[in-house]
Structure 1
Amino acid sequence: MRKKTCIWPHMIGDYHFKTLRDQTLSRIKSNIELMVTTSGGNKVVVIPHSMGVLYFLHFMKWVEAPAPMGGGGGSDWCAKHIKAVMNIGGPFLGVPKAVSGLFSVEARDIAVARAFAPGVLDKDVFKFQTLQHMMRMTRTWDSTMSMIPKGGDTIWGGVDWSPEGFFNCSTKRSKNVDMTTSELTAVRDLENRAGVNYGRLISFGKDVAKIHSSKIERTDFRGAVKGRNPSNTSNCDVWTEYHDMGVGGVKAVADYKVYTASSILDLLYFVAPKLMKRGSAHFSYGIADNLDDPKYQHYRYWSNPLETKLPNAPDMEIYSLYGVGIPTERAYVYKLTPTSECYIPFQIDTSADGEGEDSCLKGGVFSADGDETVPVLSAGYMCAKGWRGKTRFNPSGINTYIREYDHAPPANLLEGRGTQSGAHVDIMGNFALIEDIIRVAAGATGEDLGGDRVYSGIFRWSEKIQLQL
């Protein structure tokens, strides 16, 4: 039997990464051109899903760019070939659960499993399923880095604020399209209440997640001295980058106490330097001051909607189609693990629960509105505000539309995963979403669909984000 070879992303250098990328994008370009030609010149409707949304954003920049950096299609290629891009569940601005995945290779599901069966994930009998093995493997998946939150504190909020404000996780929200003035005022008042601060993406301790920032004593971790303990290396079945940090480095991370979207990047560079060094060659997470700066001609910026321009295609349409009404991971409460040299030193604190029925903190995870994977803020902001009208990110004024699908679980077993699901994957069986796509593919415009359909607070939340447009 021929031996199979597995090529990990970290084994692929920058040149080979670009070669593989260009081959894939060239096939997409050729397929779209063929569809336009064989359909009598009718433009195509492109329907990316999830991470594919980021990669098609990258494609639209690549196809315009001159060779050898891009596909050489010219500045009018998208205008000639694409009628609409209908993005499903798009994590345009990243997802917080990517942070917890890279930091401690867990999210709500792993944390809950550990709480139900403490110690099971660390037993030798499950050697190849332990978190240590998972971390060593997943930290070779550089594509995960494309999902790190983008835009820093400007988008996601800081130590003392977040765009969503206080979100009530127990009460079914009113549909925005039907809200009276008094209902809208009540919702605004609720969102402005103190109590939940999603801007603190990681907090060490439940109290730290809640108290005023002036009462938090923080020690900067960035100058901490790392150092392994060589005498204990033979005791560990799996060696991760955490073991290179030593006790001092681990303690410094916990002593910083609160991490926002901006300091998260420094945190990941501190705890996973090899991963971040590789990934930073291909992805970026900032906000462009000047999009005409020549540096933004490099492909590492092209999957970040805050560091690239949409194509010059004023007749094209861009849609954000995503589910709402499902609690979605937005921030985390962490703790140091019991002293054990060989284990990952940080865990989500599953004992951290909020007070009251409207609390969004359950099992160490703060939830906000979304599709269970992508928060509304990430899926909706660009079409709600960042690209709405003519902005520096959308200089040709491409029309943008938000179509939200309010989640409803299946009524019975015959529905399978549900025909009205808003969940990140199951939404692709949502009848209303399928109808919207078919109508656009048959020639309808966003206005024909009725324009925006919004149930969440995305427009209110977008108003709180002070971003130069």
Structure 2
Amino acid sequence: MVLVHRGKNWSDSNLVTKDSDPDSAEKLKEAAKTLKAEVSKHKHKRESRSLFATRRFLFPLGILLGALLAFSLIEPRDIQDLHAHLTLLLGEYTMPDIPGFDLSRVENEWQRLRSNIPEVWKFNVDGREFQVGESMRNRGLTAEHPIVLIPGIISTASRYSRFIIPVELLPGSRLWGGFNMLSQVTFNREKWINAMMLDPVTGLDPPGSKIRAAEGIDAASSFIQGYWIWSKIVENLAVVNYDTNNLHMAPYDWRLSFYNLEERDGYFSRLKSTIEGFKRRQNRKVVLAAHSMGANVCCFVFVCLIIPPQQNLTSDSFKWVESPEHGAGGADWVENHIEAYISIAGTHLGVAKAMSAFLSGEMKDTVQMNPAGAYVLERFFSRAERQKLFRSWAGSASMWIKGGNDIWGGPHGAPDDSHNCTHSHGELIAFRLAPPPPPPGSVSTSAGIREELQNMTADTASDWILQHTPSTFQKMIETNFSFGIERDEARLKANNLDHRKWTNPLEVQLPNAPSMKIYCVYGHGKETERSYWYTQDPNAYDETADQASGLDPLCVDPSDGSCSAGTPFDTPLVRKSYIDADFTNETLLPKVVNGVKMGEGDGTVSLLSLGAMCVEGWRRPRWNPANINVTVVELPHRPVPSIPRGGANTSDHVDILGSTGLNEIVLKVVTGVGHEVHDSYVSNIREYAQRMHWD
């Protein structure tokens, strides 16, 4: 085919330049000049751009920073593993001879390089790993008592065992803890949530899912590579001759209620057998060290009598141990087997953040994020999803605040209020703004109209939260926990028959173990969420049943008598409540940051929960009839700004596990010189405890 060039057809109307329109020609010339000037300007700007702003510089810089971050998390044993894996690989495949290369020299060079890295980059290792253990060994101290470590909530890794819905995981892969969890949350979010959530009715595994706590010391030594939890304590214990023959990590599925821990996993049966085995082989009583929620799990502090075989009790810890029907340990089991109990930042009387998490799926950590992070979190993992997940984890309800107004304060003030406070912590949940009126034309019998919001104390807030939760959650609370205070000694003894009381130190007595010692060690000096300002969303409604009205918009079968269906087209008018994150006023006392009223504590647990039982409750015969010696050590929070996790003198709720002060206390107790540990206070906890209503 021959292509013929089309000549200009000057008759085309679009190509005709009319001499009669000189203004148009001038405008075209001006536009051309302007466009040429703009092109020249942008070209000059691109040529003059700094080298540091170009992709040729930024791309290699990103690779370099990523490599440095990865190498900062490498430990010496990782290099040894690399050597072994490379040797195995070379033996598996036939390869041409290459010059000899000794990888053992790499470790020495790596150690020399790390010693020159500034401390800010030492995320995983900061040089304190064995200092406490070495100082104890230099004193001639060595392992005396076997020790069992009980981790807190979320510390124990959870491994995937079986899941019917396809999940890109192999059996044994970690669904909680480790970098694998991050990848699953990022790329398989819905499947991960379904796997981690428990059945709301049974409190056990949902159909098709089987998630179990990881086992061994590594189960809670680190959360992810580079973020240690118990590893500092384990390393120092190893220096004074501890190994798996006299050291045991007792991880558990923290999602389960304590009743179901024994029902499903036989956790307390195995814990009892481990302790008895240590005592039999070592001929020494055992030391228990529990962190955070582990203090609630370690319920040996709640037993003094033999429990008769009257009920089908398969519940928690040493109440179960001393029951003749189950543990068959007897009333003197704790006295014969437990040398000491070390409570590390124990949540004895609960935490305020548990209340906000159950109510609205929020806490200080979520509302105080920067706007960009908060937006991403809400889009990726919304409040409603977090709320639903928290409510399915019955174990976390053990940290519901205990004692009500008698411990946490009421409308006339709280024990930890300062003398010149502008707002009391006694109002656990307060509303800064009046709730908006109901929408026009709403049904007059709906709960939203009758619900009158007012500032709430610990007692009223607990009831209000339960009214805004599903009936399955309410039933779980009723059958597993109790959050009151008991002053009658006869009732305290009778509570040994009621497993719901066993996680509340205000409703049971310490065991009949006069030779046992209790050490309460916790941090102080870091701002901690204590109470909240809440508000309501005028455009969002709570679909949860309102117990005050009896209407349940989620009622499926009204004929069974458990719920009442609303009228057709009746929209629920109970508005969703959430923390008033827009309210910040640091001039108030207590300071308010993003709707959270800050108080004293270790950054997570309030000072009242950390120390009140230790300095006052367990000093009274009513709750401590055997007169067990209780020692309280408060560690001041003195972080080093150049070290990401605070260094040797931090007392943050988690980082305290790596502090020098705590490690010294643990090693002194287990090596037989616990008498060197004495009371040490840096807060006003004794004054606060005196203000509480114990009688």
- Length-normalised TM-score, structure 1: 0.78
What residue in structure 1 maps to residue 349 of structure 2? 93
Shift of 1:114: 7.1
SS in 1 for 2:368: helix
Name the amino acid aligned to 2:428: L
Residues 61-109 of structure 1 show CA distances to partners (whole Å, capped at 9, x for unaligned) of 22223314xx220110110111110011101000011000001000112
Structure 2 CA distance for aligned equivalents of residues 419 and 3 of structure 1: 41
Letter in 2 for 1:63: V
Per the alignment, residue 293 of structure 2 pairs with 51
Q: Please list, as runs of the form range in 1=range in 2, the aligned pairs for 1:410-429 lying within 5 A after superposition.
A: 410-413=640-643, 417-429=646-658
Are 1:144 and 2:303 an aligned pair?
A: no
Q: Which amino acid aligns with 1:458?
A: I
Is 1:310 the counterpart of 2:531? The answer is: no
Cα pair 2:495 2:508 within 8 Å, conserved = no
Counterpart for residue 176 of structure 1: none
Instruction: Give CA deviations for 1:420-465 in whole Å, capped at 9, x if unaligned.
Output: 111111110001110011001111234x22x211111100001101
What SS does structure 2 have at the residue aligned with 1:86?
strand
**Residue from 131, 153, 161 that aligns with 2:383:** 131
**Partner residue in 1 for 2:497:** 297
Residues 146 and 429 of structure 1: is their aligned pair in 2 closer, same or farther, counting only changes over 3 Å?
same
Could you tell me which residue of structure 1 aligns to residue 674 of structure 2? 445
Q: Of the candidates 390, 400, 404, which is equivalent to residue 630 of structure 2?
A: 400
Cα separation, 2, equivalents of 1:278 and 1:357: 38
Q: How many residues align?
A: 396
TM superposition shift of 1:12: 2.7
Where does the alignment leave 5 or more consecutive residues of structure 2 unmatched? Answer: 1-159, 165-194, 204-256, 300-315, 436-441, 544-574
Aligned 1:16-165 pairs, distance under 5 A: 17=260, 19-20=262-263, 23-39=266-282, 41-57=283-299, 58-68=316-326, 71-113=327-369, 115=371, 120-123=376-379, 126=380, 129-165=381-417
Q: Measure, in 1, the Cα distance between the counterparts of 2:656 and 2:496.
A: 34
1:268 partnered with 2:458:
no
Give the alignment of 1:278-289 within 5 angstroms: 278-289=476-487
SS in structure 2 of the partner of residue 347 of structure 1: strand
> The residue matched to 2:518 in structure 1 has which SS?
strand
- For residues 445 and 610 of structure 2, what CA distance do their matches in structure 1 show? 39
Deviations 1:29-69 (A, max 9, x none): 11111111221x2111110111110010252322223314x
Which deviations, in whole Å up to 9, do the C-alpha atoms of 1:221-269 show, x marking residues without a partner? xxxxxxx99xxxxxxxxxxxxxxxx99545655x332111111221122
Change (3 A) 1:325 1:250: farther
Greater Cα shift, 153-162 or 344-353: 344-353
Q: Which has the higher contact order (CA 8 A, sep 6+)?
A: 1
Secondary structure in structure 1 of the residue aligned to 2:664: helix
Once residues 259 and 134 of structure 1 are traced to their aligned partners in structure 2, the CA distance between those partners, rounded to angstroms, is 23
Secondary structure of residue in 2 paired with 1:103? helix
Q: Which runs of 4+ in 1 moved over 6 A?
A: 13-16
Match of 1:12 in 2: 202
> Any conservation in 1 of the 2:528–2:606 contact (CA below 8 Å)?
yes
Report deviation, 1:295: 4.6
Match of 1:336 in 2: 536
Per-residue Cα deviation, 1:3-33 (whole angstroms, up to 9, x for no partner): 5155715343699827526811011111111
Instruction: Report if the CA contact (8 A) 2:665-2:674 is conserved.
Output: no
Give, as a single letter, the amino acid of the residue that structure 2 aligns with 1:283.
F
State the match for 1:173 in structure 2.
none
Amino acid at match of 1:385: E
Partner residue, 1:242? none
% identity of equivalent residues? 32
Which residue number corresponds to residue 386 of structure 1? 617
Gaps of 5+ in 1: 167-191, 209-217, 219-227, 230-245
Question: Are positions 1:454 and 2:688 aligned together?
Answer: no
How far 1:292 moved relative to its partner?
A: 2.9
- Paired residues of 1:314 and 1:398 also in contact (CA < 8 A): yes
Which structure has the bigger radius of gyration? 2
Structure-2 separation of matches of 1:383 and 1:101: 26
> Is structure 2 residue 401 aligned with structure 1 residue 204?
no
Aligned position for 1:464: 691
Deviation at 1:148, TM superposition (A): 0.7
CA distance in 2, matches of 1:22, 1:311: 25
Task: Tell whether the 8 Å contact from 2:296 to 2:503 is kept in structure 1 after alignment.
Answer: yes
- Aligned partner of 2:608 in structure 1 is 377
RMSD: 2.9
Following superposition, the deviation at residue 282 of structure 1 comes to 0.9
CA shift at 1:199, angstroms? 0.9
Residue 592 of structure 2, aligned match among 344, 358, 361? 361
Question: Taking structure 2 as the reference length, what is the TM-score of the superposition?
Answer: 0.53
Cα shift readout 1:196-222 (whole Å, capped 9, x = no counterpart) = 31111100117x9xxxxxxxxx9xxxx
Matched residues in 1 for 2:454 and 2:370: separation?
Answer: 23
SS of structure 2 residue aligned to 1:322 = strand
